[in-house]
Structure 1
Amino acid sequence: MRPRWPWILLTLALATGHAYGDCPSTGQWWQAGGAVDAPTLLAQAAKQQVVLLGEQHDAEDHHRWQLHTLAGLYAHRADMVIGLEMLPRSAQPVLDRWVAGELTETALLAETRWEEAWGFDAALYMPIFHFARLQAIPLVALNITPELRQRLVQEGFDQVPADQRYGIPAPLPAHAAYQQRLTQVFEQHGMGQENPAMLSRFTQAQLAWDTAMAHGLAEAVKEGALAVGLMGLGHVIYGHGVEHQLEGMGIQHTLSLLPWEQAECRVTDPALADAVFVLPPSLTRGPTN
Structure 2
Amino acid sequence: MNRHNNLIGNRQRYGLLAALALVSLTPSLTLAACPNPGQWWQEEQPLTNSDLLSTAAQQQVVLLGEQHDEIAHHRWQLHTLAGLHALRDDMVIGLEMLPRSAQPALDAWVADELDVATLLEQTQWDETWGFDSALYMPILEFARMAQIPLIALNITPDLRQRLVNDGWSSVPAEERHTISPPKPASAAYRLRLTEVFNQHAMGDAPDALEHFIQAQLTWDTAMAQRLAEATEGGALAVGLMGLGHVTYNEGVAYQLNALGVNDTVSLLPWQMSDCTLPDPTLADAVYILADD
Fold agreement, TM-score > 0.5: yes
Q: Residue in 1 aligned with 2:62?
A: 51
1:116-195 matches, cutoff 5 A: 116-192=127-203, 195=205
One-letter code aligned to 1:156: G
Mapped to 2, the partners of 1:62 and 1:252 lie a distance apart of 26
Q: Which moved more, 1:197-206 or 1:74-83?
A: 197-206
Q: Residue in 1 aligned with 2:86?
A: 75
Q: Residue in 2 aligned with 1:227?
A: 237
3-state SS in 2 of match to 1:141 = strand
3-state SS in 2 of match to 1:252 = coil
Aligned partner of 1:218 among 228, 242, 266: 228
C-alpha deviations, 1:187-234, integer Å up to 9, x for none? Answer: 1223345x4422111111110000001011000011211000000001
Mapped to 2, the partners of 1:143 and 1:11 lie a distance apart of 25
Q: Residue in 2 aligned with 1:65?
A: 76
Q: Residue in 2 aligned with 1:23?
A: 34
One-letter code aligned to 1:153: V
One-letter code aligned to 2:22: L
3-state SS in 1 of match to 2:266 = strand
Mapped to 2, the partners of 1:205 and 1:39 lie a distance apart of 37
Deviation at 1:263, TM superposition (A): 2.3
One-letter code aligned to 1:229: G
Mapped to 1, the partners of 2:202 and 2:40 lie a distance apart of 38
Cα root mean square deviation, aligned = 1.0
3-state SS in 2 of match to 1:91 = helix
1:262 aligns with 2:272: yes
Q: Residue in 2 aligned with 1:271?
A: 281
Q: Residue in 1 aligned with 2:256?
A: 246
C-alpha deviations, 1:131-182, integer Å up to 9, x for none? Answer: 0001110000000111100001122112211111111100000111110111
Q: Residue in 2 aligned with 1:12?
A: 25
Mapped to 2, the partners of 1:85 and 1:191 lie a distance apart of 22
3-state SS in 2 of match to 1:102 = coil
3-state SS in 2 of match to 1:8 = helix
Aligned partner of 1:33 among 16, 23, 44: 44
Mapped to 1, the partners of 2:279 and 2:170 lie a distance apart of 40
C-alpha deviations, 1:239-278, integer Å up to 9, x for none? Answer: 1110110000001010000001112211111000000000
Mapped to 2, the partners of 1:10 and 1:82 lie a distance apart of 24
One-letter code aligned to 2:233: E
Deviation at 1:41, TM superposition (A): 0.3
One-letter code aligned to 1:6: A
Mapped to 2, the partners of 1:271 and 1:171 lie a distance apart of 23
One-letter code aligned to 1:197: D
Q: Residue in 2 aligned with 1:287?
A: none
3-state SS in 2 of match to 1:229 = strand
**Deviation >4 Å, runs of 4+:** none
Q: Residue in 2 aligned with 1:95?
A: 106
Unpaired runs of 5+ residues, structure 1, are 283-289
TM-score normalised according to structure 1 size: 0.94
TM-score normalised according to structure 2 size: 0.94
Deviation at 1:27, TM superposition (A): 0.5
Unpaired runs of 5+ residues, structure 2, are 1-7
3-state SS in 1 of match to 2:20 = helix
Mapped to 2, the partners of 1:49 and 1:191 lie a distance apart of 35
Mapped to 2, the partners of 1:22 and 1:281 lie a distance apart of 16
3-state SS in 1 of match to 2:234 = coil
Q: Residue in 2 aligned with 1:285?
A: none
3-state SS in 1 of match to 2:182 = coil
Deviation at 1:22, TM superposition (A): 2.7
Mapped to 2, the partners of 1:268 and 1:85 lie a distance apart of 24
